Amino acid sequence: LRQQGLEEIKQSDDLDRVNDVRVKLLGKKGPLTSVLRGMKDLSADERPKVGKFANEIRDELKAALEEKRAQLEKAVLDAKLAAEAIDVTLPGTPVAQGQPHVLQQIIDQLEDLFIGMGYEVAVGDEVEQEVYNFEKLNLPKDHPARDMQDTFYVTPSVLMRTQTSPMQARMLEQHDFSKGPLKMISPGKVYRRDTDDATHSHQFHQVEGIVVGEHVTMADLKGTLEVVAQNLFGDQLKVRLRPSYFPFTEPSVEADITCFNCLGAGCSICKGTGWIEVLGAGMVHPNVLKMSGVDPEVYGGFAFGLGPDRFAMLKYGVEDIRDFYQNDVRFLTQFDQKG
Ligand code: PHE
């Protein structure tokens, strides 16, 4: 019985089987139980011997069963642990990461450049008072030049700014000239009532710049624009100024840069002229200085307004300004500087 029992336990290869064997060997209907039950029929001196022997076998089988059960449970646990193991050395699943919008990249680059030249960066509000957007920039009501910038009005005296130039007036008003010249750029979004097409958008960006101090000349303007053009488009570029008109500058100019991509007459960017128009600028109009409480007999300077949208289109050959605002990731990820 002992041999057979131990053998059966050894053969059991899962926990259910071990349980069955236990019931069979040690249960109420098992052989050992009936031996123990039959003890009352034995003689007095046989009884202790048989009893002792039967108990020994029972203990031995119990121990064997317990050992087998522990063994199988451990095997089950080991298998489970092995199946659930995590290999921490495996490479992770890459997480898609964003990047600054291409227009923001241009603005960031300009900010870095101008901060390096001692300018401060001042950010204005997209919702602006009409007086700052027009009157204080020498554009009184009914001035025909207001038509150049068709405007979204919020109330009769509050509007979506059509240009970043209101920051010229705001900063001139605030600046303490006893501490040195005003040197400021102001990047941001502007709005005009235009019908969107490949070259027009009702929202776009500008970076305003203004330098006003005691001996600021037009040559300083040209030199500054040259630094900007060379920083963004290439070392060799030259700048040329053509007469133009803005109410808040006198004289006013349009600045052209030499075409950096020129293949002669067939050039798609400059149409074979060798020059690309990039921004508007001029010497700050005495009226603008006066209205901001700055004495035009003592102080003067230049201002410019450039368009990051136009710069990005030129730099990367983007043909439709609307691409910047549709947020199609296939378009935007082309400008991922992480490569
Ligand atoms: N604000 C002008 C525009 O939007 C650009 C400009 C700025 C011109 C500063 C001259 C000086 O067209």
Residue 58 DSSP code: H
CA-nearest of 181, 175, 180, 166 to 123 is 166
Give the pLDDT score at 36: 80
Residue 27 DSSP code: S
* C-alpha pair distances (Å), 38 with each of 3, 5, 26, 46, 47: 21, 20, 15, 12, 10
Select from 149, 163, 221, 250 the residue to mutate for testing ligand 1; criterion: most ligand atoms less than 8 Å from CB.
163
Residue 339 has pLDDT above 60, yes or no: no
Compute the distance between CA of residue 152 and CA of residue 88 in angstroms, rounded to an integer: 57
Structure tokens at 269: 């960017």
Question: 128: part of which helix (H) or strand (E)?
Answer: strand 127-129
CB 292 within 8 A of CB 169: yes
Q: Does residue 305 line the site of ligand 1, with CB under 6 A? A: yes
CB 298 within 8 A of CB 176: no
In this prediction, residue 336 has a pLDDT band, given cuts at 50, 70 and 90, of confident
Helix 46-84 and helix 15-26: axis angle, to 10°?
170
In this prediction, residue 203 has a pLDDT band, given cuts at 50, 70 and 90, of very high
Q: Does residue 303 line the site of ligand 1, with CB under 6 A? A: yes
CB 186 within 8 A of CB 158: no
Q: Establish whether 128 is an annotated binding residue.
A: no
Compute the distance between CA of residue 95 and CA of residue 148 in angstroms, rounded to an integer: 46
Give the pLDDT score at 191: 97
Residue 266 has pLDDT above 80, yes or no: no
* C-alpha pair distances (Å), 323 with each of 103, 163, 252, 319, 334: 11, 21, 31, 8, 12
Give the pLDDT score at 50: 85
**Which residue, judged by its Cα, is nearest atom 9 of ligand 1?**
304
Torsion on CA atoms 97, 333, 235, 258, rounded to nearest 10:
-150
Residue 325 has pLDDT above 90, yes or no: yes
Q: How many CB atoms lie within 10 A of CB 43?
A: 7
The predicted model gives 291-296 an average pLDDT of 98
In this prediction, residue 338 has a pLDDT band, given cuts at 50, 70 and 90, of low
Compute the distance between CA of residue 2 and CA of residue 58 in angstroms, rounded to an integer: 9
Q: Return the half-sphere exposure (C-beta side, CA atoms, 13 A cut-off) of residue 172.
A: 31
Give the pLDDT score at 30: 82
Residue 263 has pLDDT above 80, yes or no: no
Q: Which range, of 240-254, 287-301, 314-328, averages the lowest pLDDT?
A: 314-328
Residue 59 has pLDDT above 70, yes or no: yes
Compute the distance between CA of residue 281 and CA of residue 304 in angstroms, rounded to an integer: 4
Give the pLDDT score at 105: 96
Residue range 268-285, pLDDT digits in tens: 778 888 898 899 999 999
Residue 147 has pLDDT above 60, yes or no: yes
The predicted model gives 66-75 an average pLDDT of 90
Residue 289, SS3 per DSSP: helix
CA-nearest of 12, 13, 40 to 24 is 12
Share of the chain above pLDDT 70, in %: 99
For the CA of 168, the closest atom of ligand 1 is: 9
Torsional sign, CA 137, 138, 143, 148 = negative
Q: Does residue 188 line the site of ligand 1, with CB under 6 A? A: no
Compute the distance between CA of residue 286 and CA of residue 1 in angstroms, rounded to an integer: 119
CA-nearest of 246, 308, 280 to 105 is 308
Residue 4 has pLDDT above 90, yes or no: no
